[in-house]
Each structure stands twice: as C-alpha cells, then as structure tokens.
Amino acid sequence: MQQKNFFLLIFLILIQVSFSQVRTIKELDANWKFQKGDFENAFQVGFDDSKWENVTIPHDWAIYGPFDKEIDKQDVAIVQNGENIASEKTGRTGALPHIGSAWYRNKFTLSYYEKNKKVILLFEGAMSEPQIYLNGKKVGAWAYGYSYFYFDVSEFIKEGENTLAVKLTNKEFASRWYPGAGLYRKVSVIVKNKESINQWGTFITTPFISKEVSKVNIKSKTSGENVRLVTAIYDADGQKISSEEATTQFGNEFDQNIKVQNPKLWSPETPYLYKAVSQLFVGSELKDEVSTHFGIRDIKYEANKGFSLNGEVRKFKGVCLHHDLGPLGTAINNAALRRQLTILKDMGCDAIRSSHNMPSFEQLELCDEMGFMFLAESFDEWAKPKVKNGYNRFFEAYAEKDIVNLVQATRNHPSIVMWSSGNEVPDQWGEEGVKRAKWLQDIFHREDPTRPVTVGMDQVNATMESGFGALLDVPGLNYRLHLYEEAFKKFPQGFILGSETASTVSSRGIYKFPVVQEKNKQYDDLQCSSYDLEACSWSNVPDEDFVLQDDKPWVIGEFVWTGFDYLGEPTPYDESWPSRSSYFGISDLAGLPKDRFYLYRSRWNTADETLHVLPHWNWEGREGETTPVFVYTSYNSAELFVNGKSMGIQKKNASTAQNRYRLMWMDVKYDPGTLKVVAFDDEGNPVAEKEIHTAEKPYKIILNPDRKTIKADGKDLSFVEVSVVDKNGIPCPTATNQLKFKVKGEGMYRAACNGDATSLEQFHLPTMKLFSGKLVVLVQSTNQSGNIELSVTSNGLKSGKLNLNSHK
C-alpha cells in the first residue's frame, strides 16, 4: 500500500511539473545593473558593468534627487492654465534629475526553456523611449513611457545565460508633471509552446445578465494547428461552476458562451470576482493554460438618465490620480497602491481616473478586488504639442499601437467602465481635431465594443461649435461649470461627465487669515490655506461642483483633481522656488488627509459618521482675533463651544454653495483651550461630538503604522504615521521638529515624506522635519521573516519605538 501511494505521489508530481512547463512567467526583478549616462557598447554581451549600481525592478532612478531648480526650469506660457505670456517656471516636473539617458542590464537563465518554444519579453512601463537588446542584438524599440508592450524574442533567446540590455532616454520639456525615470514597472519573460493562447488574446464579456443566469462570452485568439480549447469558470472560493470545450475556430479565435447560474454581480460595494481558466490542447496533450479574473456586471449610459451599474443609476464619486507614489516616485508598489485605495475607500470614493496615462496592471487588479470603477486614460497629447518633446512626436506612428495594447491588456478588468482617448488636447480646435477624435474613438470601439469613450475637454466652446464634443460617447468637461447647461443642450448624448473637477488648492494644516474665497492667492511661505476656499483662475472650490452633481440628474458624476498630491506642477507657485509638488490633492504627498478629505467624506461616505473640525487651536499671538471655525460633517447641524461658551448652532442651508455643505462660524475669536462641536440628528438630538485642545510644547513622538505585519518579500511596506504630542498627550499641530529614523532587524528604512510641497529634503535619507506636526516613514521588509524595530528620535523629545514583524 505504501509503495502504491509512493508511485501515485511521484505521478502527481510529474503531472504538476509537466503542467508548470506549459507556460512559465519569470519576473525579472533582481540582479539588475544600472548606470545613468550613454554607453556606446552597453548592449553587448561582454560589456563590463561590474562597477554599475545594483538595483531591483521596478526602479525610478530620479526619485533619489537631489531637488534642483535648474533641472526643469522653463520659460513658457501654460496654455492649459489660460496663460498668454511666457514666464519662468520652476518645479514643473518635480525638480528631480529625470532628464538624460540610462542603461539597465540583466543576466538571466530560463529553467524550462527548450528549443522551438515561444518566448515573450513583456515590459509594463519604461520611461522612456526604450531600446531593447537581447544577447547583443536589438529586439525592438518603443516610444511612449506609459505604454505596455512586448516582443516575441524566440529567435534571440538561447539556452543558458541570456543578457538583456535596455536603454532609456528622457528628454527635457517632455512632460507637464514628474514622469519618473527608468524601468518603473515590471519586466517579465514568458515561455510557452508555439501552440498557445496569444498574449492578451483572451476577451471576456457578460452580454446577458439576469438574477437567474448570466451569459459569459469568452473570445480567445490562439496560435497553432488542430487545437481545442477547454475553459472552466471558478467562483471566488475556487469552486468550479461551469465549463465548455470548443473545437471550431473563427479565423484564429475561439468563441465560447458559458452559463453562470445565480451570478454574483461586481460593483464597488460587492466586488465579486470569478476566474476563467482556459486550457489549450492538441489531442490529449495540454499545450497552454491561462487564468483570467473577471466580474459579471452591466453598464449603461443613457440620455436623460445617466450612468447605471447593474440596473441602478448612480453618479461617479471619483478622483484623478497621477502615477507617482510620492516618496517612492513612479516605481510601482502594491502596498503603496493598496494604501492609497484604502484611504480613498474610507472617503467614500468609488471611481478612479488614470491621469493622464495608462494605469498599471497592479492598480487595476486592486480596483477589481477592492471595488473602484475606473476611467482608463491614454494620452495627454495628440498631434498638437503642449510641451516641445511630448507625445506629439509619436502620435502618428504609435497612437493606434498604444491604444490596442492598452485595451487588449486591460479589457477584462470589470473595474474599467470607460476609456479616455485624451485630456485637454490642443486638437480640440478645428476639423482636423474632430477627425482625430473620431479615429481614436473608432479604434477603442474596434478593440472593445462594450465600453464608451470620453475626452477631457477644456475648450468647451470650441467643441460645441466644431462637433468634437457631439461625436464622443461621453462628453467630459474639465471645469467650465458655467458652460454645463449650454453643453447639455448642444450635445446630443443627454448627459455630461465632470471628467476633471475642482482643482482646489490647500496645504495640510496651514490656515490663512482673513478667511475669504479667492483665486490664485499666494503667500510668502508658498503654502495654500486649508480652509478650502482657494482655487486657480480656471478652477473652483468643491461646493460648486457639489451643487451641479446634486441638482442636475444629467450630470453623471465627477473626477476630482486630485485624490493625492503629486510631484511636479506646483500651481499656484510654479514661478516660486522651492515649490516642487502639487497643492491639489485631497490628501497630501505623504497620503495624509487634508481637511478637504472630510468635506468629500461627509458627502460620499454615507455609511459612516463624519465630524471634522478646523482649524487647529494653537494660535499663539492671535488671542482675541477672528479665527473662523468650519465643521465638515455628515450631520446637518451642530453647536460650537469655545471653552464651554456656545458660539451658536449652525445649520446647512442653500443660501450659498458653502453654507449648503459646510457648517461655518465666521466670527469666532481665538481663545486658547478647548474647541468643542456637538452634532445633531434631524430631530435635533445630540448624536456626536468632537473636541480640539490647545497643545503645550512638543514632548513625545508617537508612531502609528497602517500595518504591523508585512510580507517578507523584500517589497512590502508599512506606512508609519509619525506625530508629536505634549506632556498631556495632546497632538502638536504646528510642530516642525527635525526627526531621525533607524530600522533594525528584518526590515529597512525606505523613505519618508512630510507633505510639504516646498521641502527639499530627500525622501531616502533617514531624517526629515515634521510638517504641521506630522510625517510618514516607510519601512520595507527584507526577504527574511522576523522582527523589525523602527526608532524615531529628535533632540529634546521622548523618542518613539515601534515593533513590526514580517513573514513569508
């Protein structure tokens, strides 16, 4: 009996090894050599790279700085901001050293490689203009730094060691924000049989859905003769629920229709995912296997009704996101992405717009899993330039190829509910632009007939006259609130999307007096007031969008600029060094929520209570001076007390946009002590309260991690919020102490960020000043399980210590 079991075990192992050889994916993340500069022979196999830097991929070479005004100084008029006269701009692309050429080299072997196999080399993002060499021969090149692309390198690969070399070039004046630099997303080698499912060759849709049954259509493009395809569908628990075999192809494509009984629908509230496993056979021999996660959901865009998901009308509560991850730069990281989405989920956000570029695979996978609808954008430029060396150089040769790769690579994600072919493109003017808009939209439709296409339009008058806006599936307006009504009447679609809204500017924990609503307001400290009443000449404060979203059923939602601050584009201080990152974020560059976060949360998160008071109550020298108090709350009324004395009850009302969404006590005089707010339900009963206290001098450092246990994979991160309190435990909101960081055990110090748009401290150095009493430290795991200790010290303060742990 034991011998029988032994042979059965050996058989199962052999079967497993055989299956694993059907298709192998090797991520090339380790053992890279990197050097900035141009090297004539760096593509050759025998090139000496022994003195080059050792790096892991994903990698952003520029994020380590230093910040330098001269890097991206430009004399330019920013047309998108309504400027007509050129002026000196600084920090526009983050003032980080991203310009220039660099080389990456990697030596790798493929364990299961055999002759006559098909080998694919996949790049998920390379900034920018990559030239790819394998074993001393040029494989190919691409142009767009945000595009995913692959090459069949079967003729270049060899048994044993292979040498991959990649040259990247970032030109000056190529971006309007920090683009990053390097192999900032994954690089993989895929080895499979010649009889196989094509790269991105699976397309899953759900053309019919009822409560009882859903039809799942699976189109699979394959290579090889005499092949048959067996596809099985599994539920979220891994249970097989249905399958189908197909032997007849239409061209080189199988078309399968599989029933799913009692389908569980995907939505932001219930992000249920199924898995399709497609196996390709020749006779009885398994040749290839591909797994694809998908969701069953129905989307509609209808005149005078708007957008509906699974039969329910809803409005997008969305934000725009640039691709950088603050102190990590553009190097993709799952933990950082998940943290961003967790913060947005708490705010009540349900949609993301990738601005203004193609999203990472990791971001889309997380949006599928966590429940975010997604507007996937392609370009910031078409044929007409915004910047000298932008995408306009590549548009004619690459636009179609880039769109095809975007759609084919990502169309199975249920989170994607809309495509965007562009943002504020100068081509909005004239007949030529109309033709380009139609050409691009037709490519999207050809590759994916199930989703509509939009463009973020800022030249709305021009697009109303030319027909540009009328031809789009979804007319997207960037700002231009005064034109919403006219656009709705002139455009035939019967609805309007706020594709980019607000662009309110603020600095976390910074408050300016007097408190008034202003445009383009600037201060000597290069900060913006967190009373959330300041915007740009072309933009507005949040409440003005709220009115349209709430009162106009034909406005189908908004994507706020932006969910988080990002590197570069330091409006309104793009002429004022050392500003080097944005002020637009609802949360700052460190991911710490600004006051505005709670304004959106009070509207968007209908499941949880919101009661937030601003400003802080540490105003030495302002005693007796008018210091307005705002409350952002999900309740409609509240009473304010200063040191026990009532300042009266405020109720939300429609007298102004601000009064409709905020509770404001404009005549409060500052008196140190306790600020207390009591919120009432609609019957006038007190149901919640919040207190803010005046703090004494800083005394102790407090550490608060987003996670105490992380994965021992050398990539995972714990984001530790660092703050200081006085001897009574009261937070010190104005503290600016210089802190030092040290990590011991199976972890390492990765970076820190304080959210100050004017700070020139480098993220990767283990010291940084607090900004408005806070900063965030990133602790990264090693590849070994064990304990991690973070200590944070500062002269004159009681140090903070935190124990984390990592595991496999």
E strand segments, 624-725: 629-633, 637-642, 645-651, 663-665, 674-680, 686-693, 700-705, 709-711, 717-725
Together in a domain, 217 and 361 = no
- At 102-155, the pLDDT tens digits run 999 999 999 877 788 999 999 999 999 999 999 999 999 999 999 999 999 999
Q: Between the CA of residue 208 and those of 434, 448, 726, what are the distances in Å? A: 34, 16, 61
pLDDT of residue 82: 75
pLDDT of residue 251: 86
- Within-domain flag for 646: yes
4 pLDDT higher than 60: no
- Within-domain flag for 602: no
Together in a domain, 257 and 125 = no
Together in a domain, 445 and 572 = yes
- At 271-323, the pLDDT tens digits run 999 999 999 999 999 999 999 999 999 999 999 899 999 999 999 999 999 99
Q: Between the CA of residue 664 and those of 413, 613, 667, 689, 799, what are the distances in Å? A: 43, 10, 9, 16, 38
How much of the chain exceeds pLDDT 70, in percent? Answer: 97
pLDDT of residue 75: 79
How much of the chain exceeds pLDDT 90, in percent? Answer: 93
Together in a domain, 146 and 244 = no
pLDDT of residue 19: 41
pLDDT of residue 84: 76
Together in a domain, 213 and 105 = no
Q: Return the amino acid letter for 298.
A: D
The structure tokens listed for 341 are 């989405």
The structure tokens listed for 658 are 């601000």
Secondary structure element (H or E) that encloses residue 277, with its range:
strand 274-282
Residue that finishes a domain, picked among 158, 175, 192? 192
Residue that finishes a domain, picked among 693, 715, 744? 693
Q: For residues 536-564, give the mean pLDDT.
A: 97
pLDDT of residue 9: 42
- At 400-420, the pLDDT tens digits run 999 999 999 999 999 999 999
Residue from 518, 510, 658 nearest 583 by CA: 510
Q: For residues 428-436, give the mean pLDDT.
A: 95
Residue that finishes a domain, picked among 693, 720, 749? 693
pLDDT of residue 20: 45
Together in a domain, 688 and 708 = no
In this structure, what CATH number is given to the domain that contains residue 134? 2.60.120.260
Together in a domain, 330 and 427 = yes
49 pLDDT higher than 50: yes
pLDDT of residue 252: 84
pLDDT of residue 6: 43
Vertex 796, ends 792 and 798: CA angle to 5°? 50
- Alpha helices in 371-429, H assignment, sequence order: 395-410
Q: Which domain holds residue 210?
A: 197-294
87 pLDDT higher than 90: no
How far is it between the farthest Cα atoms of the chain? 91
Which of the four pLDDT bands, split at 50, 70 and 90, describes residue 7?
A: very low
- Within-domain flag for 615: yes
Mean residue pLDDT of the chain comes to 95
In this structure, what CATH number is given to the domain that contains residue 631? 2.60.40.10
- Within-domain flag for 289: yes
- Within-domain flag for 593: no
The structure tokens listed for 58 are 């994903």
- At 509-531, the pLDDT tens digits run 999 999 999 999 999 999 999 99
Secondary structure element (H or E) that encloses residue 33, with its range:
strand 32-36
Residues in the chain: 808
Q: How far apart are CA 333 and CA 750, in angstroms?
A: 12
- At 55-86, the pLDDT tens digits run 999 999 999 999 999 999 887 877 777 777 77
- At 368-391, the pLDDT tens digits run 999 999 999 999 999 999 999 999
pLDDT of residue 115: 81
Rounded to two decimals, what is the model's pTM?
Answer: 0.96
- Within-domain flag for 145: yes
- Within-domain flag for 572: yes
**Structurally, how many domains does the chain consist of?**
5
Together in a domain, 483 and 427 = yes
Q: For residues 434-440, give the mean pLDDT.
A: 98
pLDDT of residue 730: 98
623 pLDDT higher than 60: yes
Together in a domain, 257 and 320 = no
- Within-domain flag for 518: no
Q: How far apart are CA 348 and CA 742, in angstroms?
A: 35
Together in a domain, 287 and 418 = no
pLDDT of residue 60: 98
pLDDT of residue 690: 98
13 pLDDT higher than 50: no
- At 639-654, the pLDDT tens digits run 999 999 999 999 999 9
Q: Between the CA of residue 669 and those of 251, 554, 643, what are the distances in Å? A: 77, 43, 11
More confident residue, 20 or 710: 710
Together in a domain, 398 and 494 = yes
Partners of 706 in beta bridges = none
Together in a domain, 559 and 470 = yes
Task: Catalogue the active-site residues.
Answer: 424, 500
